[in-house]
Structure 1
Amino acid sequence: MSKAAANDICRILNTFNVPNMPKDFRGVMSHVKKSNPTLLHGNQSFICPSCFGKNANASKCNTNGCQSASSYVRSPTSVFTFPILPQIISILERENLAPLTYESDQCQDVINSQRHHEIVMKEKQIHSGSNIVTLTLNSDGVLIKRLSRSLWITCACINELPRCKRFEINNMLICSISTGDGKPKKQEYSTILIDIVNELKILENIGFDIVLLSDKKDNARKYTHFHAFTICAACDKPAQSLLMNIKDPTGYFSCGWCCIKG
């Protein structure tokens, strides 16, 4: 993440009077280095406002023939995409998972819902010894008019964690953070989602290995294979229209479930 982007995020959060929030990039780095020996590095890119392609250049588009090939026609949306797999591994290696229960006439949580049960049973038929975790996505943002900056975050949580641990800040998966002059356009957000969706497909179809402590008294460590399935998302209507690429909530046929004109 660039220093300018970190400074923008700090300014936005300080506007909301977030307690113990550093004032700038230097303060963030000082705090992070004290509490985290290992840093999570994201990949920075810029979304062209003309062709909506992803670029590494902050001043112009790299696509030949694009209207913004010499200079962006307006300030591009800056995006930081974070690898999901290292975050999942870090969480699963230090947190215990909640036991799975399912009753057809009750649903108290995502992990005892019918959809969760269907996914687990289907996967068990294909790979009898596989371990499964599921994810809930969330995407939301805020526009600070006084600063003329928008902050949009896409994150996820692991449903199999106990509720008391699931939404702790250290157990949240940060997928992407974008900043810009305004809310991302649908074409821009679709570009942002490409890397996230591709990694989620790998986590679902191929899976990953993590090192867990053995149940035996020797405390030996063993590799355990997991698959991660994204089964739901929690969004308000504007975020849903971006995530699903459907009409804005004020437009006709804007419902994500039905085809009623509205």
Structure 2
Amino acid sequence: QIQSILASENNFTLHSSPSSCYNSCITDIQHANWYQSIALNENTSNFITLLLNVDGISISDSSDNSLWIFTFIINEINRTRRYKLQNCIFGGIWPGPQKPNREQTYAMLKLMTDELQLLENENAFTIKALGNQMVKLKVFLIGSTCDKPAQAIVQNVAEPIGEFGCGRCEIPGITVPSRDGGKHYIRVFPLSSKSRNEPECRSNKNYDRIMALKNATDQQRKGYLGPCALRALNEKLSQYRYPSTTSRTPRPIVKFHRFKANEFRLILLFAAPVLKHYLKPAVFKNYLLLVFALHLAESRSLQYEDIVHIRFLLGKISYLFMN
């Protein structure tokens, strides 16, 4: 998509050198400090930058269905042109009766993140505005614009009305009436007059540190909904070796909603050594009963006593599940 846009758009300017970014008056994104810091770090390379937008839109007034759209724009295109439909990059679209949950959002963002990391390496692009020259460019995502619900799912933080719901700071916040005497309450994040230190802002460094905490309290997590065992489990399962008779290795578990029956079967029957480290002991014991029952049921031939054992195991599962 980037190549297609650069090959057809005339209103494009490279701002790769720090001197071209400097301006005492900020008129566009290349004059911002963050953009200039990239220009300093990449002083021997050409680069362009992207801005991400995530938003949901209702399909019609008579329907609950909506579309959640992930789009990128290229900041080096003239402002009058960069938001034109033909210059928008579509990272993903989620159709459904409600906004995507966090697992679904993670699956979509993971694909986009992987590709963005590849784009940070130099790739050759044909640029029409430079006389159809072939230029090596690095591509960096430098920001996003989201409303509060979208910001919460993209940043993996609490909802804006919840504790630590601010997307910029790590203040827990307090609940107050939206107006005097009103019954409607909102959460605000005021600075403490007693604190001598400025509030901690959210950052990638803080996020990585918090995700590394084991059994973190709510205060320690600062509203981040992690650590996510699903990511660690996904990595372990990707390294797991299934029997040589396996015709199709299961896809990443974050894509379980697309699994075929055989992929569910393989993880169910053979992933116990991995799942043992992620399931609670009582749940893991219940899971093993199901595995034993299914192994018996998959035998090439069944004896009557095998059926008795299978019924016993499945009955035990039902009993433990209800209790």
Work out whether the TM-score is over 0.5.
yes
* AA at the equivalent of 2:155: M
Q: Is the 8 A contact 1:104 1:114 kept in 2?
A: no
TM-score by length of 2: 0.48
Q: Is the 8 A contact 2:22 2:31 kept in 1?
A: yes
**Two-structure CA RMSD over aligned residues (Å):** 2.1
Q: State how many pairs are aligned.
A: 167
Segments of 5+ residues of structure 1 without an aligned counterpart are 1-86
* AA at the equivalent of 2:114: N
1:233 corresponds to = 144
* AA at the equivalent of 1:254: G
Q: Among residues 69, 73, 86, which one is paired with 1:157 in the alignment?
A: 73
Q: Is the 8 A contact 2:9 2:129 kept in 1?
A: no
Shift of residue 175, structure 1, vs aligned partner: 0.6
Q: SS of the counterpart of 1:107? A: coil
- Output aligned runs, 1:54-93, within 5 Å: 87-93=1-7
Question: 2:25 aligned with 1:106, yes or no?
Answer: yes
What is the rounded CA distance, in whole Å, between the counterparts of 1:212 and 1:99 in structure 2? 10
Greater share of residues in strand: 1
* AA at the equivalent of 2:102: K
1:63 corresponds to = none
Q: Among residues 168, 174, 193, which one is paired with 2:90 in the alignment?
A: 174
Q: Deviations over 1:144-195 (max 9, x none)?
A: 5732312100001000001111111100101101111211111211111111
Question: 2:61 aligned with 1:142, yes or no?
Answer: no
* Higher RCO, 1 vs 2 (CA within 8 Å, ≥6 residues apart): 1
Greater share of residues in helix: 2
Segments of 5+ residues of structure 2 without an aligned counterpart are 174-323
What is the rounded CA distance, in whole Å, between the counterparts of 2:99 and 2:134 in structure 1? 42
What is the rounded CA distance, in whole Å, between the counterparts of 1:175 and 1:234 in structure 2? 14
Shift of residue 231, structure 1, vs aligned partner: 0.2
Q: Deviations over 1:52-105 (max 9, x none)?
A: xxxxxxxxxxxxxxxxxxxxxxxxxxxxxxxxxxx1011112224236343364
1:201 corresponds to = 117
What is the rounded CA distance, in whole Å, between the counterparts of 2:136 and 2:28 in structure 1? 24
Aligned-residue identity in percent = 32
Deviates more, 1:225-234 or 1:87-96: 87-96
1:261 corresponds to = 172
* AA at the equivalent of 1:112: H
TM-score by length of 1: 0.59
What is the rounded CA distance, in whole Å, between the counterparts of 1:214 and 1:141 in structure 2? 33
What is the rounded CA distance, in whole Å, between the counterparts of 1:174 and 1:153 in structure 2? 8
Question: 2:30 aligned with 1:119, yes or no?
Answer: no
Q: SS of the counterpart of 1:94? A: coil
Shift of residue 241, structure 1, vs aligned partner: 0.5
